[in-house]
């Protein structure tokens, strides 16, 4: 097995999509290395980097495991959201204690979890809805997760003019969304031969659906947090 085939390699993906997936994974790993190097300045960066390594390993393992064991493939639809829920809690908890909860704005772990977990779950629901409307291959789900991650980590916080933050948040930030939502990505019943135009159309529809889900998640998270702190 080559290095490229270790992380989210799917032979049914079009070549251009698989190359994009590989580039994002490499970008993710580069950001992890940067965080480890920054650990010499602040030990919390080492914790953040270790978290990213763990998440990449566990999600890529789940991706491979399900695709190599047919008896689990029919259970993906039941495990998809619970897996996202568990991994998101682990990720956000470690991120909070490394000082980056809600990009440093979290005042408590509950504040972080109450606002972030509904977003992760609702994006997952948005991806499932999109996949129900138009079945996607794993690479398309990876790209849709990446788009949602860019919206959450770069566009909404207003980091699109900061080159350094863009470099860090596209790989380690948005890249996490990609691997999270692809780990147990639904497996289509047949090979999907989408053209580039069809794929881009699916991603556009998926982005709109996920944006609506993000708004709903924001309302849920804010209501949940406020109801427990007032």
Question: DSSP of the chain, one letter per residue?
Answer: --HHHHSS--TTS-HHHHHHHHHHHHHHHHHHHHHHHHTTT-HHHHHHHHHHHHHHHHHHHHHHHHHH-HHHHTTHHHHHHHHHHHHHHHHHHHHHHTT-GGGGT-SSHHHHHHHHHHHHHHHHHHHHHHHHHS---HHHHHHHHHHHHHIIIIITTT-TT-HHHHHHIIIIIIHHHHHHHHTTPPPPSS-----HHHHHHHHHHHHHHHHHHHHHHHHHHHHHHHHHH-
Cut 0.85: pTM above it: yes
Average pLDDT, the chain: 90
83-87, 132-136, 190-194: least confidently modelled range: 190-194
pLDDT of residue 4: 58
Q: Is the pLDDT of residue 230 over 70?
A: no
Mean pLDDT of 157-167: 85
pLDDT of residue 114: 94
32-46, 107-121, 215-229: least confidently modelled range: 32-46
Residues above pLDDT 70, as percent of the chain: 97
């Amino acid at each position: 097995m080559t290095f490229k085939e270790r992380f989210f390699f799917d032979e049914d993906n079009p070549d251009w999509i698989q190359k994009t997936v590989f580039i994002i994974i490499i970008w993710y790993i580069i950001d992890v290395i940067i965080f480890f190097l920054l650990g010499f300045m602040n030990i919390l960066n080492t914790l953040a980097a270790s978290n990213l390594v763990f998440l990449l390993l566990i999600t890529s393992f789940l991706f491979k495991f399900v695709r190599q064991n047919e008896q689990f493939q029919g259970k993906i639809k039941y495990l998809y959201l619970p897996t996202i829920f568990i991994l998101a809690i682990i990720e956000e908890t470690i991120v909070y204690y490394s000082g980056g909860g809600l990009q440093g704005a979290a005042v408590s772990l509950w504040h972080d979890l109450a606002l972030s977990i509904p977003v992760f779950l609702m994006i997952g629901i948005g991806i499932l809805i999109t996949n129900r409307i138009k079945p996607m291959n794993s690479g398309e789900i990876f790209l849709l997760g990446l788009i949602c991650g860019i919206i959450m980590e770069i566009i909404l916080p207003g980091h699109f003019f900061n080159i350094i933050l863009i470099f860090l948040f596209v790989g380690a930030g948005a890249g996490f969304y990609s691997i999270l939502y692809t780990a147990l990505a639904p497996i289509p019943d047949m090979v999907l031969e989408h053209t580039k135009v069809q794929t881009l159309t699916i991603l556009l529809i998926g982005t709109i659906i996920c944006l609506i889900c993000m708004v709903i998640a924001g309302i849920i998270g804010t209501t949940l947090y406020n109801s427990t702190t007032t």
